[in-house]
């Protein structure tokens, strides 16, 4: 039997801006990292596209760097990446047009068509989600209605990471967690919904086979090996969508611990042992990368993005100070906010600078400061941003707990997690103990755990997490005084968006 210390696993993440890869051993130690960027295409306002060939070239560059950096064989590789995108292939497997991405907004009419054909309530019952512009199914309908010459050639539709698998192996396969973001998957069956496919008149043959995250579903071909540097016949596991991959890598594989990510967007991700879609459509429900499990997810579109916007537009002086001192600008701004009492002297901020998902599902939602007076200054505005983002995250947690999934503690990831001020605010607003993730390698790291399970090193995902993921020892308890201060303010916050929406 192989020595676990000599076993190597690779995780590859096809992100929106770059391909990122990590190589780890069976104990979870990272041996090598690599990344390669590619461009984002915006041919029209609201459109976002990428060329799948750019993904492939970047993936091969990353894989070659990893292979060169690690000794010994690769036991298996796991794939993860941006969800919801649509790669359109013809019968020869050639790309028909640039891929349409998760943040593309062109498909409003297609969403309305889907809900009219399937029924809004029935769609949520089957898929766990409403029809949103970012999902894959509306992109297929858009292609039918707007580019019929391309639609006529269509033979296969893949998600971004699964295109890389196809180039490595020649196999059309996806995993349940990523497939759940297409609006075509039956959550309970963890397979494509014949009812929805029939209503939308889409052939089942266009869609890849669905596997569970740690299942071996393909092997690297000689051609794939020649391009990527991976050994031929290397096993490939099904992998995960990026949020599920990051959750596995963070140890979010039971209901007790949820993940709160504070990057450009904010995400609250909670494991669920059962499919429990939110009938209102205000919360996402997807399959987890843990076989048979699910996850509930709330998304705030401009969390760290709100602070980054303020820093860019209104904090030039602080930017100069941060550069001279060699400190993080966002941390410096958060420290300024700490000089203001909780509540920012009754100033509120709605962090809807890019519209909003949870709970409003409103692309036209807009940001606002509410309660500005002559006594407020920049520090109050920053504090209101930090608090408003925390309130928006509580919107997600409140709806997760309404589905009877009640996490006892929160792991924080993303850049905002490193601010002690922001951590304390989030702990108090969400009223949960918090800790910063120790290992933040991202979705690619989770993909390596799935690969280790597929290779038979660990019996299941929970065992892999126990062996490979280091969880924090201590969680920061919420300050009772802050909890008492923020509880009534959150109730006021929940009334502000409806009031503005109805007034405009």
For 43-92, what is each residue's pLDDT tens digit? 998 899 999 999 999 999 999 999 999 988 999 999 999 999 999 999 99
Token pair 């033979």 in the structure block, residue: 155
- For 412-444, how does the pLDDT look when each residue is reduced to its tens digit (9 = 90+)? 988 888 889 999 999 999 999 999 987 667 899
Per-residue pLDDT at 109 exceeds 90 = yes
Q: If you average pLDDT over every residue of the chain, what do you get?
A: 93
The answer to whether residues 278 and 207 belong to one domain is no
Per-residue pLDDT at 269 exceeds 70 = yes
Structural domain contains residue 198: yes
The answer to whether residues 323 and 241 belong to one domain is no
Q: What is the dihedral of CA 194, 200, 205, 206, to 10 degrees?
A: -130
Residue 313, domain CATH:
3.30.420.40
The answer to whether residues 395 and 452 belong to one domain is no
The answer to whether residues 315 and 247 belong to one domain is no
- For 296-337, how does the pLDDT look when each residue is reduced to its tens digit (9 = 90+)? 999 998 888 898 898 888 888 877 877 787 777 778 888 889
The domain of 340 spans 257-437+472-503
Per-residue pLDDT at 2 exceeds 70 = no
The answer to whether residues 92 and 200 belong to one domain is yes
Domains in the chain, number = 2
Structural domain contains residue 386: yes
What tokens does 4 get?
A: 């676990």
CA distance 217 to 173: 7
What tokens does 235 get?
A: 């096993």
- For 446-456, how does the pLDDT look when each residue is reduced to its tens digit (9 = 90+)? 999 999 999 99
Catalytic-role residue among 242, 278, 395, 439:
242
Q: What CA–CA distances, in Å, run from 203 to 79, 184, 200, 243?
A: 26, 11, 9, 28
For the question of whether the overall pTM of this predicted structure is more than 0.85, the answer is: yes
Per-residue pLDDT at 353 exceeds 60 = yes
What tokens does 146 get?
A: 């707007």
The answer to whether residues 233 and 207 belong to one domain is yes
The answer to whether residues 65 and 193 belong to one domain is yes
13: annotated active-site residue: no
Q: What confidence category does residue 1 fall into, taking pLDDT thresholds of 50, 70 and 90?
A: very low
The answer to whether residues 395 and 418 belong to one domain is yes
The answer to whether residues 184 and 239 belong to one domain is yes
Name the residue with higher pLDDT: 279 or 239. Answer: 239
Structural domain contains residue 23: no
Whole-number pLDDT of residue 4: 60
Name the residue with higher pLDDT: 199 or 501. Answer: 199
Helix 316-325 and helix 329-337, axial crossing angle in degrees, nearest 10:
120
The answer to whether residues 172 and 312 belong to one domain is no
The answer to whether residues 180 and 293 belong to one domain is no
The answer to whether residues 427 and 451 belong to one domain is no
- For 213-268, how does the pLDDT look when each residue is reduced to its tens digit (9 = 90+)? 999 999 999 999 999 999 999 999 999 999 999 999 999 999 999 999 888 889 99
């Amino acid at each position: 039997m192989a020595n676990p210390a000599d076993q190597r696993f690779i995780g590859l993440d096809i992100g929106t801006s770059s391909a990122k890869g990590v190589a780890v051993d069976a104990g979870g130690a990272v041996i090598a990292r690599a990344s390669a960027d590619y461009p984002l295409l915006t041919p029209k306002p609201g459109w976002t596209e990428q060329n799948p060939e750019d993904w492939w070239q970047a993936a091969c560059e990353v894989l070659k760097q990893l292979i060169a950096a690690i000794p010994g064989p690769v036991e298996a590789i796991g794939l993860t990446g941006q969800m919801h995108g649509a790669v359109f292939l013809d019968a020869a497997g050639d790309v028909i047009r640039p891929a349409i991405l998760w943040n593309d907004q062109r498909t409003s009419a297609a969403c309305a068509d889907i809900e009219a054909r399937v029924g809004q309530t029935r769609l949520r019952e089957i898929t766990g989600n409403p029809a949103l512009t970012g999902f894959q199914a509306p992109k297929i309908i858009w292609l039918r209605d707007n580019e019929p010459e391309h639609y006529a050639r269509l033979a296969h539709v893949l998600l971004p990471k699964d295109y890389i698998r196809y180039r490595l192996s020649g196999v059309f396969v996806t995993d349940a967690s990523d497939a759940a973001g297409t609006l075509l998957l039956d959550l309970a069956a963890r397979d494509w919904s014949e009812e929805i496919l029939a209503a939308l008149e889409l052939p089942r043959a266009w869609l890849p086979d669905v596997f569970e995250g740690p299942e071996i579903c393909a092997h690297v071909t000689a051609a794939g090996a020649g391009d990527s540097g991976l050994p031929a016949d290397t096993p490939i596991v099904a992998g995960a969508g990026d949020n599920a991959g990051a959750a596995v890598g963070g140890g979010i594989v039971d209901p007790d611990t949820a993940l709160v990510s504070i990057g450009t967007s904010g995400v609250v991700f909670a494991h669920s042992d059962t499919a429990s879609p939110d009938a209102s459509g205000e919360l996402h429900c997807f399959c987890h990368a843990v076989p048979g499990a699910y996850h509930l997810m709330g998304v705030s579109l401009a969390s760290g993005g709100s602070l980054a916007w303020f820093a860019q537009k209104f904090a030039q002086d602080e930017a100069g100070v941060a550069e001279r001192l060699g400190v993080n600008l966002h941390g410096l701004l958060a420290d300024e906010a700490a000089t203001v009492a909780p509540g920012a002297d009754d100033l509120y901020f709605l962090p809807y600078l890019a519209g909003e998902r949870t709970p409003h599902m409103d692309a036209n939602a807009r940001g606002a400061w509410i309660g500005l007076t002559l006594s407020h200054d920049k520090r109050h505005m920053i504090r209101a941003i930090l608090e408003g983002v925390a309130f928006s995250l509580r919107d997600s947690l409140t709806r997760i707990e309404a589905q009877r999934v009640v996490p006892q503690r929160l792991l924080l990831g993303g850049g905002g997690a490193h601010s002690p001020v922001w951590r304390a605010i989030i702990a108090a607003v969400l009223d949960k103990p918090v800790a910063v993730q120790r290992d933040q390698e991202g979705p690619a790291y989770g993909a390596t755990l799935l690969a280790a399970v597929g290779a038979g090193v660990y019996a299941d995902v929970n065992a892999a997490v126990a062996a490979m993921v280091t969880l924090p020892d201590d969680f920061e308890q919420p300050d009772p005084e802050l909890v008492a201060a923020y509880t009534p303010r959150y109730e006021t916050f929940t009334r502000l968006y409806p009031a503005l929406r109805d007034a405009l």
